Structure 1
């Protein structure tokens, strides 16, 4: 197995990426060592993913994969966007972020369309250099009543197009087959395999 470090402390992301990649890679994340927190000062998903991948790749051997992803709600002009994980202030407070999202949507007329998408940008770096980047998105809509106990983040409020269930209600293997991260990984995975086989 080939080592691949995911530049995150979010175990949910690590598990999702590991499940998508399969057994070719030995996937670890930042919890496996003493890595510094990289400030996400970018204004786009690509900028933030690049910051994390490049900085962490300076501190370790092998490939580093970083993703930056988030929810874009059309009626909120693309918010929370790159600030998805810290929308309510504290980084990674899913309950607070979802509560703020519901408060913001409640300010809009009741007939406002709640179309949205999850977007993911993945960057792969090595030795302090960005080697490749990939992106994926999944369209859907926001449901006001939280539903489901799978997933994380905004999953209980996001219903992907073509489904009558939220991401948090869908089985993990179904979500992993159509999620924004899965779509970005569908491009990243063959690229990684080419590097392994080269």
Structure 2
């Protein structure tokens, strides 16, 4: 990305293209010090689009563009997930869907483990988390950033922290899972933190 072509984010309201209050809180913690006031798409009554993209970036861009268009304000969206090398990088963009309609990530982690057992020990347990962030403006201008953290998967899951697949993911260079790790430490090294650092360098 050529930062000279980037558009800066101005202080003021920024729509978070999500109905998840946790996402709004996270954006507030990261961008609030720069004068950004996040508001959720849910609080504005905006719909959640079908995520029809074939990559994390495509889904993030689709969500950000729709929210910016409908709200008339800049909007930010993210798409993230777990990519397991032995499973051909699945669940990938379908990470949330593996958890089913009840968002049961205990079930999703069991599914990953069952697939790994079928793949056999020689397939290995390497995995990475990906996060794509997109910021869109009402005129269709778009900026996108990606972050990645590599690690290995353990079984059974360990720790009650984090969310999603965190309790089975040990980042490289650490012996704790994201589920066991101090939240501040996790946020320092996570895929989302990496993507946000790129965003802040470019847009703020």
Q: Residues 11 and 104 of structure 1: is their aligned pair in 2 closer, same or farther, counting only changes over 3 Å? A: farther
TM-score (norm 2): 0.87
- Residue 16 of structure 2 is matched in structure 1 by 6
Of residues 42, 46, 49, the one that matches 2:57 is 46
Moved over 4 A (4+): none
Offset at residue 128 of structure 1 (A)? 5.2
Structure 1 stretches lacking a partner, 5+ long: 194-198
The RMSD of aligned alpha carbons is: 1.7
Q: Which moved more, 1:126-135 or 1:7-16?
A: 7-16
Question: Partners in 1 of 2:159 and 2:25 — Cα distance?
Answer: 19
Of residues 109, 120, 144, the one that matches 1:109 is 120
Question: Partners in 1 of 2:109 and 2:45 — Cα distance?
Answer: 30
1:9-20 aligned within 5 A:
9-20=19-30
1:27-176 aligned within 5 A:
27-90=38-101, 92-127=103-138, 129-176=140-187
8 Å contact from structure 1 (residues 117, 139) kept in 2: yes
Q: Residues 124 and 71 of structure 1: is their aligned pair in 2 closer, same or farther, counting only changes over 3 Å? A: same
Q: Residues 166 and 128 of structure 1: is their aligned pair in 2 closer, same or farther, counting only changes over 3 Å? A: farther
Offset at residue 50 of structure 1 (A)? 1.0
Q: Which moved more, 1:106-115 or 1:119-128?
A: 106-115
- Residue 8 of structure 2 is matched in structure 1 by none
8 Å contact from structure 2 (residues 18, 48) kept in 1: no
Secondary structure class of the residue paired with 1:124 = strand
- Residue 196 of structure 1 is matched in structure 2 by none
Question: Partners in 1 of 2:181 and 2:25 — Cα distance?
Answer: 16
- Residue 195 of structure 2 is matched in structure 1 by 184
Offset at residue 172 of structure 1 (A)? 1.3
Q: Residues 83 and 108 of structure 1: is their aligned pair in 2 closer, same or farther, counting only changes over 3 Å? A: same
Offset at residue 91 of structure 1 (A)? 7.0
8 Å contact from structure 1 (residues 54, 128) kept in 2: no
Q: Which moved more, 1:72-81 or 1:14-23?
A: 14-23
Q: Residues 153 and 88 of structure 1: is their aligned pair in 2 closer, same or farther, counting only changes over 3 Å? A: closer
Offset at residue 134 of structure 1 (A)? 0.5
Q: Deviations over 1:70-123 (max 9, x none)?
A: 110000010001111112443733222222112211212235310000011111
TM-score (norm 1): 0.90
Secondary structure class of the residue paired with 1:3 = strand
